[in-house]
Amino acid sequence: MDLHLSSASPTEGEREAIDAAFAMLAPTVPERDGDVATRSVHAGHAARSRRHLLLPMLHAVHDAVGWLSEGALNHVARTLQVPPAEVYGVATFYAMFSVEPRAPRVVHVCDDVACGPFGGEEIIAELEPGLDGSTDACWVRSPCLGLCERAPAVLHQRAGEPDLSQAPATPSSVLQAAQAPADPTGEQASAADHAFADTTVSAPQTRTGEHLRLLRRVGVVDPGSLDDYRAAGGYAALRRAVDLGPTRVIAELKDASLTGRGGAAFPTGVKWETVAATPERPHHLICNADESEPGTFKDRVLMEGDPFGLIEAMTIAGYVTGATTGHLYIRGEYPLATRRLQDAIAAARARGYLGDDVMGEGFAFDIDLRRGAGAYICGEETALLESIEGYRGEPRNKPPFPATAGLFGKPTAINNVETLYDVLEVLNIGGQAFASVGGGKSTGSKLFCVSGAVGTPGVYEVDFGTTLRELLDLAGGTRGELRTVLLGGAAGGFVMPSDLDTPLTLEGAREIGATLGSGVVLVFDTAADLTGTLRRIAAFFRDESCGQCVPCRVGTVRQEEALARLERDAPIGSRETELALLDDLARVMRDSSICGLGQTAPSAVMSAIDLGLIAAPSRNAGGPDSNGHAHPEVNGHSGNGHGGGR
């Protein structure tokens, strides 16, 4: 392939990072004996087939240097034989990558619905003067970092050093971490990980509950010890799966009526059966660990506290569906979960629980961990496929569905983290026993992410059918007078105090016009700024739209603009005209967007309008929104934060 590269060359550090990553990811490629402007000695179909290495290689150079220069992008294009325009297109799609020079340390401050009102804005107010003029560190506004139970949250992205999460963060602790001496050995991150993990399990239920299933090992078993995991019942489910065989495992899943916990609620047994029965080979398995819905953090808690559980569940899924490789796609903002999963994969591989002959049972399975880089849309299953294959994370039209034509066009089973942990429980107790909890399509237990104005935010596991009131009581009750609850996340809807006795099931939520979605339960008291919250939700969808289809690309922008005018009490025509416009936009986005992002982007806004939660605008309202900002900023200026253009 002829590559039309610019004259820019990589620095020595960039070249070393790219070449080292390529040697590790594709060790069979012969060494180059010199650079050629438009060709490399390993060019041709074999090199082009490695395009799926693009995202890991961009991570490698960005981790080492802190940004992606034109020379670095040229060297990646030459190495993988991918056109430079396409490399640039992928690099600019992800918010955690920068193609402009910036400080080696970037502080991502969450200003989303759970963190902004609970300290996020105070941190930003201190960082503006605290890092003003600094060449070593800068800050950006960030959407949800998945640490909502520990608000406010911050992520430190650091060139040449391990990334670091802080939550709950304070202005002084953030400044101290941003200005600390460089730590290429990772000792500071390791110490911070331990301190963070000590309080990761914030819900008392996860330590004292007697009926926990998915969370029973979290906070109890050492997440770094395979022996501890086995002593707590680990790998018993895999042994039972092998004893039963793939067909009977699928029958157990069907008996259990296990549905996907990512929001779509598709029957897991049916999905696995479809993939297993498809004659085309190879088959692929993907764990979707890219939870990015504002207010969602349950998968993070599972991965940080019980990483071997996910490894075992993926191995079972690979065995049943006939996949020899599992792709674990984890969001880039989860550094501790990523490190723990990497360690767990290595330990399982060393002990024979992954590899060419798993447990000596005659089947092969291994796991490839892929890091996302800040794109909410990649939680959509076909956008995730595009991302793994080395393209921009833009959703595909369906059909065909991934079960028949997924990763690299082959049959692919895609499950989210919580669903896979449920598979362990089905095999441990049997499908019929699992189905005896709850009923209908809502069987087993469910994880809920409770945050906002409650006594003890955290992840709570309850049986399907538990009422919303009982869940809130379990979380310590409401702080202040309850006004409303956002159920299902930014793509969900609001419910009122009169709905508290609704059973938390797929059917119960549907009866009140709501959805359980990803399990978000975000509580607002009467002091909350709901208009500002809706603006933030609208801005989130505006920023996170991939831009592929017009209804979503334009509709999310117009929705945010209309809400801004209502907040400023400057409607075009009248307030009723603006509300009618929002209703029209919602209909268009729901009916004609390619994927679920555009289809659900107006859900929370329209729910709030229907329930009368949008307050009458104030005559002295000013500023672009309730938090005083309209766009993502880098040290006060528009920049490559978690925002537009993706």
Please count the residues of the chain: 646
DSSP, res 45: H
Q: How far apart are CA 269 and CA 258, in angstroms?
A: 7
How many Å apart are CA 407 and CA 385, to the nearest integer? 6
Q: What angle do CA 269, 272, 275 make, to 5 degrees?
A: 150
Residues 6+ apart with CB under 8 A from 354: 311, 315, 345, 348, 365, 366, 367
Contact 300, 196 (CB under 8 A): no
| Higher local confidence (pLDDT), 412 or 613 | 412
Beta bridge partners of 176: none
Instruction: Report the candidate in 410, 506, 419 with the shortest Cα–Cα distance to residue 465.
Output: 506
What's the average model confidence in pLDDT over 472-501? 96
CA distances from 351 to 226, 271, 285, 360 (A): 9, 30, 22, 11
- Which residue matches tokens 């008392």? 204
* Number of neighbours of residue 101 by Cβ within 10 angstroms: 9
Q: Which of 7, 85, 77 is nearest to 43 (CA)?
A: 77
Nearest Cα residue to 272 out of 250, 254, 300 = 250
- Tens digits of residue pLDDT in 69-116: 999 999 999 999 999 999 999 999 999 999 999 999 999 999 999 999
Pairing of strands 412-416, 445-452: unpaired
State pLDDT tens for residues 525-566. 999 999 889 999 999 999 999 999 999 999 999 999 999 998
The mean pLDDT value of the chain amounts to 89
Domains 211-435 and 530-617 are alike in CATH topology: no
Would you tell me which CATH number, out of the four given (3.40.50.1000, 3.30.365.10, 3.30.70.20, 3.40.50.11540), belongs to the domain 211-435? 3.40.50.11540
CA separation for the pair 243, 238 (Å, rounded): 9
Which CATH code fits 530-617?
Answer: 1.20.1440.230
pLDDT tier, 24 (very low <50, low <70, confident <90, very high otherwise): very high
Q: Does domain 105-178+188-196 have CATH number 3.40.30?
A: yes
The CATH code of domain 438-525 reads 3.10.20.600
pLDDT at 183: 78
Indicate whether 453 pLDDT > 70.
Answer: yes
Helix, strand or coil for residue 109? strand
Count the alpha carbons within 13 Å of 303 in the hemisphere toward its beta carbon: 31
Q: What angle do CA 173, 178, 179 make, to 5 degrees?
A: 100
Closest CA to 243 of 359, 350, 352: 359
Strands (E), 51-159: 105-110, 137-142, 154-158
- pLDDT tens per residue, range 288-327: 999 999 999 999 999 999 999 999 999 999 999 999 999 9
CA triple 344-349-350, angle to 5 deg: 100
Task: Calculate the alpha carbon distances from 215 to 228, 302, 398, 434, 455 in Å.
Answer: 15, 7, 35, 16, 20
**366: alpha, beta or left, given left = phi > 0 and alpha = psi -120 to 50?**
beta
- Residue 496: phi, psi to the nearest 5? -105, 165
The domain locations on the chain are 12-91, 105-178+188-196, 211-435, 438-525, 530-617
Cα–Cα distance, 155 to 339 (Å, whole number) = 15
Confidence at residue 276, expressed as pLDDT on a 0 to 100 scale: 98
